[in-house]
Amino acid sequence: MLNQSERKNKRRFIALAIVAFLVFLDQITKEIAVSQLLGKDGVDIIPNFLQLLYVENTGTAFSLLRGQMIFFYIVTVIASVAIIVCMEKLPNNKKFNISYYLLSVLLAGAIGNFIDRVLHQYVVDFIYFSLINFPVFNVADIYVTVSVVIIMLLFIFYYSDEELTEVFGKKD
Structural domain count, the chain: 1
Share of the chain above pLDDT 90, in %: 78
List 44, 141, 161, 172, catalytic entry: 141
| Short-list 143, 159, 51, CA closest to 99 | 159
Helices (H) and strands (E) in the chain, counts: 5, 3
Helix/strand/coil for 153: helix
What CA–CA distance (Å, rounded) separates 43 from 133? 15
Among the residue ranges 32-46, 50-64, 83-97, the one predicted with the least confidence is: 50-64
- Answer yes or no: 44 catalytic: no
Comparing 103 with 171, the larger pLDDT belongs to 103
**Which pLDDT score is estimated for 28?**
98
Which domain, by its residues, includes 157?
4-168
pLDDT digits (tens, 9 = 90+) for 4-32: 899 999 999 999 999 999 999 999 999 99
- CA dist 127 and 113 (Å) reads 14
Which residue is catalytic, options 41, 125, 161, 172? 125
User: Is residue 166's pLDDT more than 90?
Assistant: no
Query: What is the amino acid identity at position 10?
Result: K
The pLDDT score that the predictor gives to residue 69 is 80
Residue 141 known to be catalytic = yes
